[in-house]
Amino acid sequence: MALHIREAWILLFVLPGLVTPAAINHEDYPADEGDQASSNDNLIFDDYRGKGCVDDSGFVYKLGERFFPGHSNCPCVCTEDGPVCDQPECPKIHPKCTKVEHNGCCPECKEVKNFCEYHGKNYKILEEFKPSPCEWCRCEPSNEVHCVVADCAVPECVNPVYEPEQCCPVCKNGPNCFAGTTIIPAGIEVKVDDCNICHCHNGDWWKPAQCSKRECQGKQAL
């Protein structure tokens, strides 16, 4: 009985040594993701150096062919040293341009500023406006604002007033002038006191009135 047990232990230690790596069939086990990824790294891509040129989309051009490498590039010629591209002198972009496209060899202006900006407000081309009662302005095609300021005539009175939305002052009571501290109407003689009669200068309303003394009318005694 003890002999059989000893032989069984010997078999347990000997059998694992008989199983070698060659005895395991790797086809029975799927490769893990790491092994599969490493196999893809060994792909061989064509080398077009000295044979052709490739654009941005992967299209191959022969030596001597003319092509556009990308949407925003200038035309190129495929050479053994690679693409040789044109470098034209592009026209200058208008300083008032508000929208520029770069889809071609040269940038292109697609929209030019068509308004004027004046004191924080925008106005259309040829639009006329009055920023103040004394100013008349217009938005010019050059996107600049030209204004004219009203030149008011000298008022014909010494007490002109400014009406709302009017630029120049007006004489609401007609022409007049000063006779001392009294304002008298123009065009007539005015008796300013018991001894003086005054009238305004014709056309020179800012000058003091001309006065002449007459016989004073004494007050009757009470």
What would the pLDDT profile of 26-69 be if each residue is shown by its tens digit?
Answer: 444 444 444 444 444 443 445 566 678 888 778 888 888 888 87
Distance, C-alpha 78 to centroid of its chain: 41
Q: Which fold has domain 115-149?
A: Complement Module; domain 1 (2.10.70)
Q: What is the pTM of this model?
A: 0.39
What would the pLDDT profile of 161-214 be if each residue is shown by its tens digit?
Answer: 988 888 899 998 889 999 988 999 998 889 888 888 999 987 677 788 989 887
Query: How deeply is 78 buried, as exposed, middle or buried, from its count of CB atoms within 10 A (0-12, 13-18, 19+)?
Result: buried
Spans of all domains in the chain: 53-84, 115-149, 154-215
Amino acid at 53: C
Angle value at C-alpha 166, between 164 and 170, nearest 5 degrees: 100
For 146, residues 6+ apart whose C-beta sits below 8 A from its C-beta are 137, 138, 140
CA dihedral 40, 42, 46, 47 (to 10 degrees): 130
